[in-house]
Structures are given as structure tokens and as C-alpha cells.
A and B are shown apart, each in its own frame.
Chain A
């Protein structure tokens, strides 16, 4: 059974600092997604990673995928308050999409 594990589940960081969120999954997958969810809101697509070694960057966020290690990372550079949200990774398989439990990020001034 496909399992998706994120860590940490909670992350409090100071503005300007760097940090990495990890997403491990248990079986081979077609694609890996990162989403952002603000409190009380729906999900916003951030990145889709298709192949081993894929790296995508948008602003202060950079996502990478290592399919051999079954690991994706979401790296935050020089965090700002606006990045406070819950971040989910999701792994796609045939006819199924499995989400991690989410990482609740709080960026403090």
C-alpha cells in the first residue's frame, strides 16, 4: 500500500531563515505534487515533479525529486511571513492520489 510521510508536521521558523520539508513515499509513483493550503481555504498547486532529479523553483520555494530514494524536498529560502500555510505533498499512482499529512509552517517576524 502506498504511504506518504511528511516531516516535520509542524515548523516554526524566523523570517530570513532557511528550512526543508521532506516527503517520503513507499512505492514507485508517476508524479509528485506540492500544494499550499491557507487556513480555511482550498488547495493551491505549487509544483509538479515528473522525473528523477527534477527541480522546480518559484520565488523562495524550491522542490526536488529523487525517485530512487522515493523522496521529495521542499526547500524554503529566506522565509517571509507570507509563506505561513500548510504544505502538502501528494503522490500519484494509477487511479489514486495519496497525500501526506501536511506540514504546518509558521514564519515569525
Chain B
């Protein structure tokens, strides 16, 4: 079946521009997660959605970052006034339910969006 998809796969933008990254989770997955992976580093957890709700936004790096999810499917991660330090691969994952507190134990990752801020 279809896995997690993300678009665009690559995005090059100029410093100061806004960008919008999209994630389509696996159908029926109520939980969705966003991560950032800087070059040569591990993943940095940003935010998760349970349904359309994001219970904890404290992982977002700054107030330039926002995320929303509609209809328990597509999610968008928006970065306003991009900076060079925002350059990274942004990964999205989904799972049947949230993995915390004894939930399903498998997150399925998308291919990522490689963001380059010039």
C-alpha cells in the first residue's frame, strides 16, 4: 500500500522567504510527526499531531515554525522568514495512534524534504 509521502522532495529558497512543506500520512494513521535532520546528525523531534490537534508545540525551534493538520490527513509545516540554519531534511512520520504511553510501536517515515536556504 501507499506509504508516507512528502512534497516537495527538494526545495531551494532564498533567505527571508516563507516555505511550506507537505506530508501525506498513511491512510488511517491518526498520529503524525515532524522531524528535522541536519546534515550528518540525528533526528530532532519538532511536533506531533493526534488527529488534528498538536498537544505540545514546544519542540518547534522558533516562532517562525508552525504546523497544522486538517481532516486527520495532510499536514503542512510552514517556515516563515527562512534562515540558513533552517537548511535540513524535514522528515514526516505517521503511526496508527500516538506512540507514547504504550501506543503503537511503529512510526513509518516519509522520504523527506531537503530544504536549502541560500
Contacts and interface: CB of A to CB of B under 8 A. Distances in A.
Interface of A: 4, 30-31, 33, 41-45, 48, 50, 88, 90, 92-102
B100 A30 contact: yes
A97 B98 CA distance: 12
Contacts of B99: 31, 92, 97
The A contact surface, by secondary structure, is: strand
A42 B106 contact: no
Contacts of A42: 91, 109-112
B51 to A, nearest CB: 15
5 contacts: A30-B101, A41-B111, A97-B33, A100-B42, A102-B41
Contact of A95 (B55, B91, B107): B55
B105 interface: yes
Given A98-B45, A99-B42, A43 B91 contact: yes
The B contact surface, by secondary structure, is: loop
B42 A101 contact: yes
Given A42-B91, A93-B100, 11 more contacts: A33-B105, A41-B111, A43-B91, A43-B93, A45-B106, A48-B106, A90-B43, A94-B100, A94-B101, A99-B45, A102-B42
B48 interface: yes
Contacts of B107: 45
Interface residues of B, number: 24
B71 interface: no
Contact of A43 (B101, B102, B109): B109
A91 to B, nearest CB: 11
A78 B65 CA distance: 45
